[in-house]
Structure 1
C-alpha cells in the first residue's frame, strides 16, 4: 500500500487590530454615533431670504451709549408670495432671526401675469417714498435697484421697470413697493368692478 500524503492547509484570517478608545474615554464597542437623536430636525426652506440692510443703532443712556443691531429682511417663494420684516438685537445673527420671524408673519400675495410681469403700471407710496412700477415685455429683466429689486425678485416677477422718487431709505422703499403691488388689480377684478 502506498502512503498517501494529506496536506492540510489552514487559512488564518488576519484579524484587524482592535481599536482602543482614547485614554480616559469608554466606548461600547459599536463605534461613533452616526447621528444625534436629540438634534432638532432641519426643515427645508420654503422661502428664499435676502438681507437688505443691517444698521448699528445706539441709545444714549446714563452710563453712555447702548449699541444694538437692526436687520431688514425680505423673503419670498418666487411664485407671488413675499414678505418683509425688521428685527433688533444685541448681535447680528439674533437680529436676522427676529427679522425672519417678523417677515413670515407679514406675508403678501400678488398675481403675476403672463410674461412674468405685473398687469398695469402703478405708483406705490409710503411716507416720503414713491415707487413707480411699469410692466415690461419678456426678456427685459428687472430694472430696479437695491431694496425694490429684492422685493420684485423674491416675489417672482421677471420683467418690470421701476423708479424710486423721494426718500430712498430701504424700509420706506420696500413699504412703497409693497403698497404699489397690493394696489394692482387683474383684468378679472377690473371687469367685476365695472359690471
Structure 2
C-alpha cells in the first residue's frame, strides 16, 4: 500500500507527503501536562498545600489568541476574515507583521499569576464569610397571578439534619429558614425541610411569600412604642429611637427591620439566641404594638408627646375619633394610670439596670478608677500585682484595724508593712 502511495506522489508532484512523528507532547492533552506540575499528593492535600496562595496554578495558554492568527500575519478566509466580501471571494494575503502581538500575549499570561480578590456585592454578602446565613435569595417566584415586585428574601438559618429511619438508616435533610419583605411594612417567614439544599431554599422562600404580615411603621422610620416580648427562652426588648439613630440590635433583628422598613430602633436580647425564636419573638412584639390612634381611642384622651430636642414642647399625636368627645380632667379617675411607658409594658416598670443605653462603667469616673483597676488586677493578674494589691488593701483600712494587724505581724508579711510605712506614712484612703 505504501508503494502505491509513493508511486501516486511521483505522478502528482503537487501533493506533498509529510511524515507525522508522535511524542509525549502530541499524545498527552494539555490538562494532563498541567496536572504533572500543579497536583499535590494526598498527604500534602490534607495539610492544605494545594490551597496555598503561592502554589502553581493552571494557565490557559490559548487566552489572547485566535484561530488563524499567528506569528506570520496571514489573512485566512473563514478564520480571521470573511469568505466573501461583496461579490468577490477574499484571497489569502500576507499582512504586515504585528510587533505588539507577543507583548499582548505575555501581559495576558502574567495576569493569570496575580492574586485577584473577588469582590462580592453587598446584596450577596451574609453575616459571615463561611456561612450562607444572611445572603439574599432574590425575589420570590410569582404565585398564580400574584407577583412579588420590590420584594427581597434573606436566609436566616441553614443547617443539615439527620433522621434515622428503620429500614433505610440515617437520612440527611437540609433545613432552611427564610424571611421575605418589601421594605414597606410587608414581611413573612417560612421554613422548609427537604433532602436537596436548593429545593429547601426555594420551598422556604415560597412558604414565606404565602404568609405575609403587615407591620405599621411610625413616621416611616421607627416603631410606635417600646415593647417587650418573650418566646420560649428568648426575650426581646425593643425601644423607639429618633431619626438618624440607626439600627443598634442583633444582626437578625437588623435584617428583619430592613425587610420591614424600620430604620431607627434599639433592641436587646436576653436569654437564648435561637434564630427562629428571635424572629418569632420580634415579629410577635411588632404585631402586638398599638398605634397612636388605638391608644387615644382606648383611653378616650388626647395623646401628647414631649421631647427634649423640642424643649419639651407638647406635640399632639392623636385624638379620639370614635364619635365620642375626649374626657375632661373631672371625668378622669385620680387612681387611673396614665403613664405611657407602663401602659406599653402592661403595667410593669422597666428595670433601669437593663436600660437601653449602657450604664456608666466602673472605670469611667475618676474617683472609681483607682479602686476598680486594682480590683480587676487582683482578680485577673494576682500573680504579678499581689504585693501592690496587699499594700492597697492594707492602706484602705482604718487606723484601729491597722493597729490590730500590726500587733500580730506573724500572720502578715513584715516587709509589706515596711513598704506601707515608707509609701503612705500618714495618708489613709477612705473605705470604699
TM range (shorter): 0.7 to 0.9
**Aligned pair in 2 of structure 1 residues 60, 134: CA closer, same or farther (>3 Å)?**
same
CA shift for structure 1 position 47: 1.3
1:48 aligns with 2:152: yes
Are 2:253 and 1:148 equivalent residues in the alignment? yes
Q: Which residue of 1 aligns with 2:188?
A: 83
TM-score, normalising length from structure 2? 0.35
Asked whether the equivalents of residues 115 and 138 of structure 1 are also in contact (C-alpha less than 8 Å), the reply is no
Residue in 1 that maps onto 2:264: 159
Q: Structure 1 CA distance, aligned partners of 2:179 and 2:209?
A: 9
Distance 1:60 1:52 in 2: 26
In the alignment, is residue 94 of structure 1 matched against residue 166 of structure 2? no
* Inter-CA distance 135–14: structure 2 relative to 1 (3 Å threshold): same
Secondary structure (helix, strand or coil) at the match of 1:67 reads: strand
Are 1:113 and 2:185 matched, yes or no? no
Alignment of 1:125 onto 2:230: yes
Call closer, same or farther: CA 1:186–1:44 in 2, change over 3 Å: closer
Aligned to 1:138: 243
**Offset from partner CA, 1:137-162 (integer Å, 9 cap, x none):** 11111112232222111000000000
| 1:14 aligned residue | 86
Q: 2:286 & 2:272 partners in 1: Cα distance?
A: 18
Residue equivalent to 2:32: none
Residue in structure 1 matched with residue 26 of structure 2 by the alignment: none
After TM superposition, the score normalised by the length of structure 1 is: 0.76
* Aligned partners of 1:124 and 1:178 also within 8 Å: no
Question: 1:115·1:159 contact (CA, 8 Å) conserved in 2?
Answer: no
> 2:314 is matched with which residue?
none
Q: Which is worse superposed, 107-116 or 80-89? A: 107-116
Q: Gapped runs of 5+ residues in structure 2? A: 1-84, 90-141, 301-432
Identify if the C-alpha distance between structure 1 residues 126 and 44 changes in structure 2 by more than 3 Å, giving closer, same or farther. closer
Residue in structure 1 matched with residue 368 of structure 2 by the alignment: none
Distance 1:143 1:16 in 2: 74
Give the structure, 1 or 2, with the largest relative contact order (CA under 8 Å, sep 6 or more).
Answer: 1
Q: Give the secondary structure class of the aligned counterpart of 1:119.
A: coil
2:230–2:236 CA contact under 8 A, matched in 1: yes
Query: Deviations 1:164-194 (Å, cap 9, x if unpaired)?
Result: 1112110000000011100111111111222
Closer, same or farther: CA 165–172 of 1 in aligned 2, 3 Å: same
Deviations 1:13-37 (A, max 9, x none): 81498xxxxxxxxxxxxxxxxxxxx
Contact 2:231 2:277 in 1 (8 A): yes
Corresponding position of 2:294: 189
Confirm or deny: 8 A CA contact 1:81 1:109 kept in the other structure: yes
Q: Deviations over 1:91-137 (max 9, x none)?
A: 11110111111111221111111260001100122111111111111
Is the Cα contact below 8 Å between 2:220 and 2:261 reproduced in 1? Answer: no
Instruction: Decide which structure has greater strand share.
Output: 1
Conservation of the 8 A alpha-carbon contact between 1:48 and 1:77: yes
Distance 1:15 1:85, change over 3 A: farther
Give RMSD over aligned pairs: 2.2
Task: Tell me, in whole angstroms, the C-alpha distance in 2 between the residues paired with 1:45 and 1:69.
Answer: 28
Return the alpha-carbon distance in structure 2 between the equivalents of residues 118 and 144 of structure 1.
14
What residue in structure 2 maps to residue 61 of structure 1? Answer: 165
Find runs of 4+ consecutive structure 1 residues off by over 6 angstroms: none
Q: CA deviation at 1:60?
A: 1.1
